[in-house]
């Protein structure tokens, strides 16, 4: 979502149209211009309108995914429209096949509904509107059917994963099945492109790009299935991976806090309020800059640093929440508390990487 381009919000979801997406609109307009009849530049103009409307249809498709994810209580981080379509980034909060199925299927269904609506519109209008509606009906029908092909990273791959997950009881097995199915689809699409080329259909660049996109996405799905298995195995280890801290009042004198700090086992000194809730972390550089003869007369508080929200996590119902927080923050560590805000320890990125074998 950090790419340059256009950004806006729809239904509370941040939407990004990066430069690649803008180029996609222009490319579609250029490729479709010969299909629209019209004197002078009318064909190119209609193709431009068609390209914009097609991207709006893609946005509706992604909004369907986002709304379904939100209905299941999953935070949606954003929608991106790019050269070959779009994708929605959301954060799963549980491990069930049913939400996977629903979120996957609503996107293609919305696209097919748009196709049906455009077909009906084309049958009750005339002229330019009929021409545009017909092109949009055909294209959205193709996109809807394509997205339902049973393999990752297409939406049909999500359906395959959900069904296989329900049958086998293993998300890892289901994810790999979806990925391998996507590899088969990519190979068949590449062979179809080669056959068409050998039979004089010309060099089908977009078809070849699509085959490459599906193949790469399928490969990533297989890899992610393995990584997801390792991550789930990590869940029970997280509480034991937390490195202990020394919790003190911000009014305790600095000399006392430093004397009680066992640096061999405790990775940090943190301050807490009267209820034991985490406040801040002691800055070692600032503390050691205080002359030894003054440390008995100054409190810890002025030598602490606020802990950013991104470096805080709660170990509650989701044991992997600190791991996700660590990944999202990009920091080497996060401070972990219980549900009441009392410090439990610090989770270090290097410990997580060691546990995952990376």
Residues 205 and 251 in one domain: no
Q: What is the pLDDT of residue 41?
A: 52
Given 236, 263, 295, the domain boundary residue is 236
User: Residue 288 belongs to a domain with what CATH number?
Assistant: 3.10.580.10
Residues 166 and 276 in one domain: no
Q: What is the DSSP string of 153-173?
A: TSHHHHHHHHHHHHHHS-HHH
- Side-by-side strand order, sheet with 312-314: 312-314, 333-337, 343-348
Q: How many domains does the chain have?
A: 2
Q: Is 202 exposed, middle or buried (0-12, 13-18, 19+ CB in 10 A)?
A: exposed
Residues 230 and 292 in one domain: no
Residues 146 and 226 in one domain: yes
Q: What is the DSSP string of 302-333?
A: GGEEEPPGGGEEE-SS-TTHHHHHHHHH-SSE
pLDDT in tens, the chain (358 residues): 445 678 999 999 999 999 888 888 888 888 888 888 655 556 788 899 999 999 999 999 999 999 999 999 999 999 999 877 899 999 887 778 999 999 999 999 999 999 999 999 999 998 889 999 999 999 999 999 999 999 999 999 999 999 999 999 988 899 999 999 999 999 999 998 888 888 877 657 778 888 998 999 999 888 887 666 666 667 778 888 999 999 999 999 999 999 999 999 999 999 999 999 999 999 999 999 999 999 999 999 999 999 999 899 998 877 888 888 888 888 899 999 999 999 999 999 998 888 876 5
Nearest alpha-carbon partner for 346 in 337, 338, 354, 355: 337
End-to-end CA distance of the chain: 26
Residues 221 and 252 in one domain: no
Question: Do the beta carbons of residue 325 and residue 338 sit within 8 Å?
Answer: no
Alpha carbons 89 and 76: distance in angstroms, whole number: 6
Given 208, 236, 264, the domain boundary residue is 236
Alpha carbons 141 and 133: distance in angstroms, whole number: 12
| Cα atoms in the Cβ-side hemisphere of radius 13 Å centred on 234 | 23
Q: State which residues form the domain around 277.
A: 242-356
**What are the Cα distances from residue 338, in Å, to 80, 113, 196, 316, 321?**
35, 47, 61, 6, 12
Residues 22 and 137 in one domain: yes
> What global pTM score does this model have?
0.71
Q: What is the pLDDT of residue 2?
A: 43
**What are the Cα distances from residue 356, in Å, to 142, 229, 323, 345, 350?**
41, 10, 11, 20, 10
Alpha carbons 206 and 130: distance in angstroms, whole number: 26
Alpha carbons 110 and 120: distance in angstroms, whole number: 15
Which residue, chain included where needed, has tokens 């119902």? 317
Bridge partners, residue 346, by sequence: 243, 335
Residues 120 and 200 in one domain: yes
Phi-psi region of 298 (alpha: psi -120 to 50; beta: other; left: phi over 0): beta
Alpha carbons 172 and 75: distance in angstroms, whole number: 22
Question: Considering Cα of 338, then 339, then 342, then 343, what sign does the dihedral take?
Answer: positive
Q: What is the pLDDT of residue 171?
A: 86
Residues 318 and 201 in one domain: no
Q: Is 17 exposed, middle or buried (0-12, 13-18, 19+ CB in 10 A)?
A: buried
Residues 250 and 216 in one domain: no
Nearest alpha-carbon partner for 253 in 296, 202, 290: 296
| Cα atoms in the Cβ-side hemisphere of radius 13 Å centred on 145 | 7
Residues 158 and 104 in one domain: yes
**Helix (H) or strand (E) run with residue 20 in it:** helix 19-32
Residues 153 and 189 in one domain: yes
Residues 290 and 270 in one domain: yes
Given 203, 236, 269, the domain boundary residue is 236
């Amino acid at each position: 979502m950090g790419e340059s381009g256009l950004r806006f919000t729809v239904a509370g979801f941040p939407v990004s149209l990066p430069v690649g997406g803008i180029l996609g609109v222009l490319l579609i307009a250029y490729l479709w211009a010969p299909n629209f009849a019209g004197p002078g530049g009318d064909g190119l103009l209609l193709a431009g309108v068609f390209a914009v409307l097609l991207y709006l249809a893609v946005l509706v498709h992604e909004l369907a995914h986002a709304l379904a994810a939100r209905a299941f209580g999953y935070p949606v981080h954003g929608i991106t429209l790019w050269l070959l379509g779009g994708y929605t980034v959301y954060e799963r909060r549980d491990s069930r096949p049913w939400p996977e199925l629903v979120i996957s299927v609503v996107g293609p269904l919305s696209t097919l509904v748009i196709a049906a609506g455009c077909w009906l519109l084309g049958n009750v209008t005339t002229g330019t509107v009929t021409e545009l509606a017909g092109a949009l009906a055909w294209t959205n029908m193709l996109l809807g059917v394509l997205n339902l092909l049973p393999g990752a990273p297409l939406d049909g791959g999500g359906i395959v994963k959900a069904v296989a997950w329900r049958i086998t009881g293993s998300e890892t097995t289901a994810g790999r099945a979806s990925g391998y199915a996507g590899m088969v689809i990519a190979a068949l699409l590449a062979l179809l492109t080669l056959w068409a080329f050998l039979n004089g259909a010309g060099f089908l660049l977009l078809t070849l790009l699509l085959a490459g996109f599906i193949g790469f996405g399928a490969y990533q799905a297989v890899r992610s299935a393995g990584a997801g298995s390792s991550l789930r195995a990590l869940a029970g280890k997280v509480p034991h991976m937390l490195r202990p801290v020394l919790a003190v009042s911000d009014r305790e004198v600095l000399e006392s806090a430093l004397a009680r700090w066992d640096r061999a086992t405790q990775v940090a000194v943190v301050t807490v309020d009267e209820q034991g809730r985490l406040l801040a972390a002691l800055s070692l550089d600032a503390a050691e800059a205080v002359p030894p003869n003054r440390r008995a007369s100054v409190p810890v508080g002025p030598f602490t640093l606020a802990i950013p929200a991104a470096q805080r996590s709660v170990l509650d119902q989701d044991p992997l929440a600190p791991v996700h927080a660590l990944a999202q923050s990009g920091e080497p560590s996060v401070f972990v508390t219980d549900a009441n805000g009392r410090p439990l320890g610090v989770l270090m990125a290097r410990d997580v990487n060691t546990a995952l074998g990376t």
